[in-house]
Amino acid sequence: MQLSREELLSAYTRMRTIREFEERLNVEFQKGTVPGFIHLYSGQEGIAVGICEHLDEDRDYIGSTHRGHGHCIAKGVDVKGMMAEIYAKSTGVCGGKGGSMHIADLDKGMLGANAIVGGAPPLALGAALTAKTLKTGGVSVPFIGDGAANQGTVAEAMNMACVLNLPMVFMFENNGYAEFTAASYATAGSIEARAKAYGMPGTTVAGDDFFAVHEAAREAIDRARNGGGPSVIEATAYRFHGHFSGDPQVYRSAEELKSVREDHDVLNNFRDRVTEAALLDQQELDAIDAEVLTLMDEAVAEAMAAPDPMPEDLFTDVYNTYQ
């Protein structure tokens, strides 16, 4: 289905925002100013955006992973609030107490990045159950890596979603590596084929092709929204960076590292596609790129200048009430 000009601009802006957020964060992290560790989503932008462009802010939910920045941005979480959170500042979306792997914004339908591999799919069941029980028409989408695909929690969630006919899409991002270990070694058979075993539809798409993801997502999300139950999408994905920022990636060949950026860059593919079809022109895309870079400058500067949490924040928000 042909996207409108506005839809194309929106999708490109989101993908570019994710890319520059991650690339800037990588630079800043190497300087040593960012606490903890961060897992970068560069290369996989088409998957988060291809899904989330179909989702509503108020009734649809996503569950995410340790590599969650892209999912957050795609679902509409405030970029400056995210940057401040990663810098562990009081102005962060979680007040600095979550950090990179726990960015959540329930008002945006973002159930949280999740530092436990396979942690989110069971939670996403709950959002889907709420949607079904309250008849909101909402859909719940857990993003799942190829590593998490092998966790028991994911098998449990897929079975439960089918048994209760929940409005869900299991969005698998197979970037070829579970941390340092290749999917070809650690993931038996095919992820998509597991859908068939549970009796739900499954499809595989190229994650570096935004339009392919977007179309598969439309079909799966429409089906879930209309009571047709859960389905699986597996996207072949291309992780530009290592497992975490600073990972020297000794386990990947130089040829592979070169190829993922040169042959599988979803943003380049998108630009080629829309300019060749004369849907958007280079200048307006360049203008978006420039705006996004400015936004990142502001986000980093504001995050660095923002105050730390207060010492007393250590003790707050463990409970709603406790005495």
Place of tokens 């923002």: 306
Closer Cβ to other proteins, 70 or 119, answer by number: 119
Query: How far apart are CB 217 and other proteins at their closest, in Å?
Result: 21
b/e burial code for range 112-141 (CB count within 10 A of at least 16 → b): bbbeebbbbbebbbebbbebbeeeeebbbb
Query: How far apart are CB 48 and other proteins at their closest, in Å?
Result: 20
Query: How far apart are CB 236 and other proteins at their closest, in Å?
Result: 27
What is the distance between the alpha carbons of residues 171 and 65, in angstroms, rounded to a whole number?
Answer: 11
Site string (147-186) toward other proteins, x via CB under 8 A: -----xx--xx-xx--xx----------------------
Closer Cβ to other proteins, 132 or 239, answer by number: 132
**Which residue in 77, 124, 237, 295 binds other proteins (CB under 8 A)?**
124
Query: How far apart are CB 169 and other proteins at their closest, in Å?
Result: 15
Query: How far apart are CB 39 and other proteins at their closest, in Å?
Result: 17
- In the DSSP assignment, the letter for residue 308 is P
Q: Is 323 in the site for other proteins (CB under 8 A)?
A: yes
Q: Is 282 in the site for other proteins (CB under 8 A)?
A: no
Query: How far apart are CB 45 and other proteins at their closest, in Å?
Result: 24
Q: Is 92 in the site for other proteins (CB under 8 A)?
A: yes
What is the distance between the alpha carbons of residues 227 and 89, in angstroms, rounded to a whole number?
Answer: 42
b/e burial code for range 157-171 (CB count within 10 A of at least 16 → b): bbebbbeeebbbbbb
Is-contact 129 111, C-beta < 8 A? no
What is the distance between the alpha carbons of residues 232 and 217, in angstroms, rounded to a whole number?
Answer: 10
Amino acid letter, 124: A
**Which residue in 10, 23, 78, 129 binds other proteins (CB under 8 A)?**
129
The answer for residues whose C-beta is within 8 angstroms of residue 262's C-beta and 6 or more apart is: none
Closer Cβ to other proteins, 86 or 94, answer by number: 94
The answer for residues whose C-beta is within 8 angstroms of residue 35's C-beta and 6 or more apart is: 87, 88, 99
Closer Cβ to other proteins, 13 or 165, answer by number: 165
Closer Cβ to other proteins, 184 or 323, answer by number: 323
Query: How far apart are CB 158 and other proteins at their closest, in Å?
Result: 9
What is the distance between the alpha carbons of residues 136 and 152, in angstroms, rounded to a whole number?
Answer: 29
Q: Kindly determine how many residues on this chain lie close enough to bind other proteins according to the rule CB under 8 A.
A: 50
**Which residue in 134, 193, 277, 305 binds other proteins (CB under 8 A)?**
134
Helix ranges (H only) for 97-169 are: 120-134, 152-163
Query: How far apart are CB 186 and other proteins at their closest, in Å?
Result: 20
What is the distance between the alpha carbons of residues 158 and 306, in angstroms, rounded to a whole number?
Answer: 42
What is the distance between the alpha carbons of residues 89 and 111, in angstroms, rounded to a whole number?
Answer: 20
Q: Is 106 in the site for other proteins (CB under 8 A)?
A: yes
Site string (24-63) toward other proteins, x via CB under 8 A: -------------------------------------x-x
Phi/psi region, residue 287 (left: phi>0; alpha: psi -120 to 50; beta: rest), is alpha
By CB under 8 A, name the binding residues for other proteins: 61, 63, 92-98, 102, 104-107, 111-112, 114-116, 119, 121-131, 133-134, 140, 152-153, 156-157, 159-160, 163-164, 316-323
